């Protein structure tokens, strides 16, 4: 029996909370945990990139399976149980290959969840970006709560408590995955959607995917080494949580005002602005790491480099991938951006960290973001302004 509309939205909001609460643990503290276990930088780069590597192919597999069978809720339940079962292995794995196997398996299931829930949410809300933002903001709140509490928790008890904290949060995600509602059935008279190949040949979606890839490629040093970089310059572990939180608070504000922004500016203009802000942000981090004020200001750029970037990309994906292609479209977007771009960015950051150092790596990240602006500004059409 499907839950009531209110209960269904509550479950979606709870899922977002737990999903990004896990991200609030893993992004800021996973690299710090590995550094405390004396892993070399290249191994840290690999282990911090595994969540993104699985996003290259796993969401496409799960999305195809969901669209093929129509059983998204069942797949989400399997994914939730598989993820929490996999992460239990962190309690026992301490060597590189043990952790590699555990995280690779757990994130194969974990990566299935978000694109299916995003497709479910956008379908249930009929593409209403305002209502989507109000639900998605619970993910940002989950990130804030977990990153702040974990900062003080780790400061007091030591970084060794991270694995059991991850398992606790993932248990909550598995519970909400079980409570998620079924996706609404498509109307019987809905026009036949274009073929997936036809959609992927559209220049606009190709450029958006390329831009998202470059944006996440530029984030490689940030997601893998930001916390390590700032602690090397004297900041405490509790400061880590607050700095990440400032970025997510900026993200919350943007999600809430996104409907107003889209009324004033075209989606193309918003999308292009994110690359310029990201370039400035990474330069400030690289060259201003010794100033807490500069780091706090740079974190405000997360409102653009993540929130507006993600919201505008979601709008493009929802526009092009209709009907039975919704889950596949979300999976391809995540695979191109967080998957391929994020994993390659993390791996390159890990391989070059000891040789180049943080300042040069963040400078190169700014150049990659600027390249994204050049490519998208030159090719992306202005048709959304006319619309």
Give 334 or 286, the one with higher predicted confidence. Answer: 286
C-alpha–C-alpha distance, residues 175 and 267, integer Å? 36
Average pLDDT, the chain: 85
Say which CATH class 8-182+194-386 falls into: mainly alpha
Residue whose pair of structure tokens reads 């694995």 in the numeric block: 163
Categorize the per-residue pLDDT at 128 as very low, low, confident or very high, splitting at 50, 70 and 90: low
Q: Report the candidate in 346, 142, 130 with the shortest Cα–Cα distance to residue 248.
A: 142
Q: What is the pLDDT of residue 4?
A: 57
Q: Report the candidate in 299, 145, 136 with the shortest Cα–Cα distance to residue 226.
A: 299
Q: Give the residue-averaged pLDDT of 306-323.
A: 82
Q: What is the pLDDT of residue 382?
A: 55
Q: What is the pLDDT of residue 118?
A: 80
Q: What is the dihedral of CA 208, 130, 335, 73, to 10 degrees?
A: -150
Largest CA distance in the chain: 62
Q: Is the pLDDT of residue 220 over 70?
A: yes
Q: What is the pLDDT of residue 124?
A: 77
Q: What is the pLDDT of residue 7?
A: 62
**Exposure letters 296-317 (e unless 16+ CB within 10 A, then b):** eebbbbbbbbbbbbbbbbbbbb
Categorize the per-residue pLDDT at 104 as very low, low, confident or very high, splitting at 50, 70 and 90: very high
Q: Is the pLDDT of residue 156 over 50?
A: yes
Q: What is the pLDDT of residue 383?
A: 47
Domain segments of the chain: what residues? 8-182+194-386
Q: Is the pLDDT of residue 366 over 70?
A: yes
Cα–Cα distances in angstroms (integers) from residue 314 to residues 31, 136, 151, 303, 329, in the given order: 29, 12, 31, 15, 10
Out of 5-9, 48-52, 96-100, 127-131, pick the least confident.
Answer: 127-131
Q: What is the pLDDT of residue 5?
A: 59
Q: Is the pLDDT of residue 2 over 70?
A: no
Question: Can you spell out the DSSP letters for 264-302?
Answer: HS-HHHHHHHHHHHHHHHHHHHHH-TT-HHHHHHHHHTH
Q: Enter the tokens of residue 5.
A: 């509309």
Out of 166-170, 261-265, 366-370, pick the least confident.
Answer: 261-265
Q: What is the pLDDT of residue 384?
A: 46
Q: Is the pLDDT of residue 188 over 50?
A: no
Query: What are the pLDDT digits (tens) for 6-42?
Result: 667 788 889 999 999 998 888 888 888 998 898 998 8
C-alpha–C-alpha distance, residues 206 and 220, integer Å? 22
Q: Report the candidate in 220, 304, 10, 23 with the shortest Cα–Cα distance to residue 140.
A: 23
Q: What is the pLDDT of residue 286?
A: 96
Q: What is the pLDDT of residue 193?
A: 59
Do 218 and 114 contact (CB within 8 A), yes or no?
Answer: no
Do 199 and 320 contact (CB within 8 A), yes or no?
Answer: yes
pLDDT-above-90 percentage for the chain: 36
pLDDT-above-70 percentage for the chain: 91
């Amino acid at each position: 029996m499907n839950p009531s509309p209110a209960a269904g939205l509550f479950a979606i909001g709870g899922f977002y909370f737990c999903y990004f609460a896990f991200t609030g643990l893993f992004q800021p503290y996973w690299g710090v945990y590995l550094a405390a276990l004396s892993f070399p930088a290249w191994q840290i780069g690999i282990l911090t990139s595994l969540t993104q590597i699985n996003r290259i192919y796993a969401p496409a597999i799960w999305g195809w399976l969901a669209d093929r069978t129509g059983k998204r809720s069942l797949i989400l339940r399997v994914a939730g149980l598989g993820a929490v079962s996999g992460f239990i292995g962190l309690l026992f794995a301490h060597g590189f290959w043990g952790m590699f196997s555990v995280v690779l398996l757990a994130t194969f299931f974990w990566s299935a969840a978000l694109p299916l829930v995003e497709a479910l949410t956008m379908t249930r809300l009929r593409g209403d970006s305002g209502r989507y933002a109000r639900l998605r903001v619970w993910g940002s709140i989950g990130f804030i709560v977990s990153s702040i509490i974990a900062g003080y928790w780790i400061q007091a008890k030591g970084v060794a408590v991270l694995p059991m904290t991850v398992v606790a949060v993932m248990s909550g995600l598995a519970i909400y995955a079980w409570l998620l509602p079924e996706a609404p059935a498509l109307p019987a008279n809905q026009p036949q959607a274009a073929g997936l190949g036809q959609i992927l040949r559209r220049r606009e979606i190709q450029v958006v995917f390329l831009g998202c890839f470059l944006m996440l490629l530029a984030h490689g040093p940030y997601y893998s080494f930001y916390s390590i970089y700032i602690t090397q310059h004297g900041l405490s572990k509790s400061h880590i949580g607050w700095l990440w939180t400032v970025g997510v608070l900026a993200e919350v504000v943007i999600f809430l005002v996104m409907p107003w922004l889209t009324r004033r500016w075209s989606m193309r203009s918003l999308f292009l602005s994110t690359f310029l802000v990201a370039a400035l942000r990474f330069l400030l981090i690289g060259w201003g790491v010794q100033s807490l004020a500069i780091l706090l200001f740079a974190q405000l750029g997360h409102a653009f480099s993540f929130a507006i970037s993600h919201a505008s990309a979601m709008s493009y994906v929802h526009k092009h991938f209709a009907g039975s292609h919704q889950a596949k479209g979300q999976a391809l977007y995540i695979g191109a951006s967080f998957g391929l771009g994020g994993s390659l960015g993390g791996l390159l950051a890990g391989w070059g960290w000891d040789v180049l150092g943080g300042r040069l790596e963040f400078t190169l990240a700014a150049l990659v973001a600027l390249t994204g602006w050049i490519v998208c500004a030159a090719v992306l059409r202005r048709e959304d302004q006319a619309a």
